[in-house]
Amino acid sequence: MKALHNLLDSIRPQFEEGGKFSKFWVVYDSLETFAFTPGHATKNGVHIRDGVDLKRTMFMVILALVPALLFGTWNQGHQYLLSIGEIAANDSLSLMFWDKLFIGAVKVLPLVVVSYGVGLGIEFLFAGMRGHSINEGYLVSGMLIPLIMPVDCPLWMVALAVAFAVIIAKEVFGGTGMNILNVALTARAFLFFAYPKQLSGEIWIHNVKASADAGLLADGYTGATALGHLASTVGKGMEEPAVTGVMSMFGADGMFSLTNSFLGLIPGSIGETSALAILIGAALLIWTGIGSWKIMSSFLAGGLVMGLLFNLMGLNAYMTLPAIHQVVMGGFMFGMVFMATDPVSASQTERGKWIYGFFGGFLSIMIRVFNPAYPEGVMMAILFMNVMAPLIDHYVIQANVGKREKRALAAQGATA
Partner 1 sequence: MTTTIRIKKGADIRLKGRPASQVDQAPSAALYAVQPPNYKGIVPKLEVKEGAAVEAGSVLFHSKEHSNVKFLSPVSGTVKEIVRGEKRRILAVVVEADGKNTERSFATVDAASLDRGAMVEAVAERGFFAFIEQRPFATLVNPSDKPRSIHVSGFDSAPLAANMEVALAGREAAFQAGIDALCVLAGGQNVQIGSKKGQTLYNGIQGADVHVFDGPHPAGNAGVQIHHTRPINKGEVVWTMHPEDVANLGETLTSGTYCAKRTVAVAGSECSAPRHINATLGCQITALTGGKVDESNVRIVSGNPLTGDTTKNDGFLGGLHHQVCLLPEGNKPKFLLADGWLGLGLDKFSLSKSYPTWLLPKSKEFVMDTCNNGEERAFVVTGQYEPVFPFDIYPVQLLKSILANDIDAMEKLGIYEVAPEDFALCEYACTSKIAVQSIVREGLDMLKKELG
Q: Point out which residues bind partner 1 (CB under 8 A).
A: 1, 4-5, 33-57, 59-60, 133, 135-137, 174-178, 287-290, 292, 343-344, 346, 348-350, 353, 393, 397, 400-401, 403-405, 407-408, 411-412
CB of 141 to partner 1, least distance (A): 12
Residue closer to partner 1, measured from CB, 8 or 212: 8
Residue closer to partner 1, measured from CB, 220 or 413: 413
Please give the DSSP secondary-structure letter assigned to residue 43: -
Cα–Cα distance for residue pair 232/243, rounded to 1 Å? 8
Residue closer to partner 1, measured from CB, 45 or 215: 45
Please give the DSSP secondary-structure letter assigned to residue 172: G
Among candidate residues 374, 334, 339, 363, the one with its CA nearest the CA of residue 185:
339
Residue closer to partner 1, measured from CB, 30 or 274: 30
CB of 163 to partner 1, least distance (A): 21
Among candidate residues 111, 147, 103, 91, the one with its CA nearest the CA of residue 265:
91
| All residues at 6 or more sequence positions from 41 whose CB lies less than 8 Å from its CB, including other chains | none
CB of 49 to partner 1, least distance (A): 5
Residue closer to partner 1, measured from CB, 9 or 240: 9
Cα–Cα distance for residue pair 261/281, rounded to 1 Å? 17
Residue closer to partner 1, measured from CB, 151 or 344: 344
String of b and e for 251-287 (b: at least 16 CB within 10 Å)?
eeebbbbbebbbbbbbbbbbbbbbbebbbbbbebbbe
CB of 111 to partner 1, least distance (A): 25
Residue closer to partner 1, measured from CB, 23 or 49: 49
CB of 346 to partner 1, least distance (A): 7
CB of 395 to partner 1, least distance (A): 12
Query: What is the identity of the amino acid at 92?
Result: S
CB of 165 to partner 1, least distance (A): 17
Among candidate residues 66, 64, 137, 52, the one with its CA nearest the CA of residue 287:
64
Cα–Cα distance for residue pair 110/127, rounded to 1 Å? 25
CB of 131 to partner 1, least distance (A): 14
CB of 8 to partner 1, least distance (A): 9
Please give the DSSP secondary-structure letter assigned to residue 376: -
Cα–Cα distance for residue pair 305/95, rounded to 1 Å? 39
Cα–Cα distance for residue pair 186/163, rounded to 1 Å? 10
Q: Is 384 left (phi over 0), alpha (psi -120 to 50) or beta?
A: alpha
Cα–Cα distance for residue pair 325/331, rounded to 1 Å? 12
Residue closer to partner 1, measured from CB, 91 or 405: 405
Residue closer to partner 1, measured from CB, 24 or 59: 59
Among candidate residues 239, 246, 266, the one with its CA nearest the CA of residue 333:
266
